[in-house]
Amino acid sequence: MAGQHETEPAYRADDFATDGALRDVCVLDTTIDDWRRMFDGLRAVPGRHVLTWTLSDTTERGTPDAAAVWSRLEQDPEESASLAIDIDGVWFTCYFFDIEEIEFTFDPSDVVDEAAFTPVRSFVTWLGTATGREVIVTMEGTDHTAMPALIRWRP
């Protein structure tokens, strides 16, 4: 059920119906320390990852430093970055909107059945384990605290 507290994320077809909206995977009320733990966790992410800087059109492989990323974004308001993580063909992308929320998006059309849900389960579990924080999956939006959670994972 939506909003149910789960330790193992469960697949529900209605949550991934293709409706033109993305789904958001979030850790709320974060600090730079949560971002550091997430970036440090990239060493163990169950897929490949790429950090791309838009203004300079550069791509970084390896494990970026959270403080360096946020510092660069603060120093140059024209710059933007994205961190994309591919887990078995499902891409989870973070655009660094706000230091107070780790937010990744993914396309629900990639999750067509229980088997295709496995990368979502892996990603949510990885993010929660890396940060040591609760992870929620919601419909695409800007106020995740007010939205019902489709999935709620707690460490």
pTM of the entire predicted model: 0.90
> What is the Cα–Cα distance from 110 to 83, expressed in whole angstroms?
18
- The CATH class for the domain spanning 13-153 reads alpha beta
What span, in angstroms and rounded, lies between the C-alpha atoms of 25 and 124? 7
Residue type (1 letter), 107: D
Residue whose structure tokens are 């409706």: 19
Q: Which helix (H) or strand (E) holds 135?
A: strand 135-139
The torsion angle over the Cα atoms of residues 87, 1, 154 and 17, rounded to 10 degrees, is 20
Provide the b/e sequence for 97-106 (b: ≥16 CB within 10 Å). eeeebbbbbb
- State the sign of the Cα–Cα–Cα–Cα dihedral 18, 84, 121, 146: negative
* CA pair distance 146, 154, nearest whole angstrom: 18
Rounded Cα distance between 153 and 27, Å, is: 10
pLDDT tens sequence for the chain (155 residues): 344 445 678 888 899 988 889 999 999 999 999 999 999 999 888 889 999 988 777 777 667 889 999 998 999 888 899 999 999 999 999 999 999 999 999 999 999 999 999 999 999 999 999 999 999 999 998 899 999 999 999 98
**How far out from the chain centre does Cα 69 lie?**
16
